[in-house]
Structure 1
Amino acid sequence: MEVRFNYQQANQDAFRAMLKLEDYVKTSGLDATLLEFIKIRASQINGCAFCLDMHTRDLRKMGETEQRIYLLSAWREAPFYSDKEKAVLELTEAVVRISEQGVPQDLYERVRAHFDEKEYVNLIMAVNTINAWNRLAISTGMFPKEDK
């Protein structure tokens, strides 16, 4: 596999704009583990190997258990996630797949049981940001480097 081109070098203004979004999300006050869960779950749905590799590594460095990382794609069947985490994962799936059914009212209410309006917008911004990173990585042919 070969990367098609380095999008950071090809369009530095676009890359800086993405970094501003990323910086906003990182400093929004949302829990760092939840943010990595969002990044991993969205990247699983979008099929972004580059981002999956990066964010699973990041979450391990943060001290998250292998089991919770491995089971993120099957979070509904795993008893290791809190109601708050489940609400965020379900919201992530709904926003990534927004054209299928939007964000149903009952999901909105489950998320709002844990987050105020500002935090809700921050969650949406987190999903939007990783979606954009996924699309950049996939469209430019980025892939993870193999461990040796």
Structure 2
Amino acid sequence: MSHRVEIKKVAPDAMKAFGPLYQYVGACGLDRALIDMLFMRISQINGCAYCVDLHWRDAMKAGDDARKFNSIITWREAPFFSERERAALNWAESLTLVADTGAPDTDYEEMKAHFSEKEIADVTVVIALMNAMNRLGIGQRLAPAIKVAS
């Protein structure tokens, strides 16, 4: 694989600009586990191995249920998710695949049934942030670090 630009090195201020948005997301009042679920599912859809690995490890460090997080890819079939989580995961898929879905009113109405307007705005920001980060990671071909057994 050919070398790709390392944005953090050549445009550090661009990467630092995401910091306040991450801080907002962390303090907005949404459940941290829900944010991690959304980050994970969006990264799975986009195929960002770096972010899938990072957010899975973050969830495990925070004490989240490994079985549930391993089932995020099958959230529609797995019994581990609340209706609120399902609405958010569906909205994440709808917005991540917006060129195909058009973010239909039915998906938005499902969000309204489980979230306040402020929460819908915050979930939407979470989705936009992770999609941006996935594009940066994939564009740079970031990959999870592999620990070599000694």
Same-fold call, TM > 0.5? Answer: yes
Name the residue aligned to 1:92. Answer: 92
Structure 2 counterparts to residues 65-76 of structure 1, below 5 A: 65-76=65-76
Distance 1:126 1:103, change over 3 A: same
Q: Is the 8 A contact 1:30 1:119 kept in 2?
A: yes
Distance 1:110 1:117, change over 3 A: same
Post-superposition CA distance 1:31-64 (Å, at most 9, x none): 1001001100000000000000000000111111
Name the residue aligned to 2:109. Answer: 109
Name the residue aligned to 1:44. Answer: 44
Distance 1:3 1:61, change over 3 A: farther
Distance 1:53 1:2, change over 3 A: farther
CA RMSD in angstroms comes to 1.4
Q: Output the CA distance in 2 between the equivalents of 1:80 and 1:2.
A: 41
Q: Is the 8 A contact 1:39 1:55 kept in 2?
A: yes
Post-superposition CA distance 1:78-136 (Å, at most 9, x none): 00100000001000000000111222222212111221111111111000000111011
Name the residue aligned to 1:18. Answer: 18
In structure 1, the gaps of 5 or more residues are none
Q: Decide which moves more: 5-14 or 66-75.
A: 5-14
* Bigger relative contact order (CA 8 A; separation at least 6): 1
Paired residue type of 1:25: V
Paired residue type of 1:48: C
Identity %: 37
SS in 2 for 1:133: helix
Paired residue type of 1:137: G
Name the residue aligned to 1:64. Answer: 64
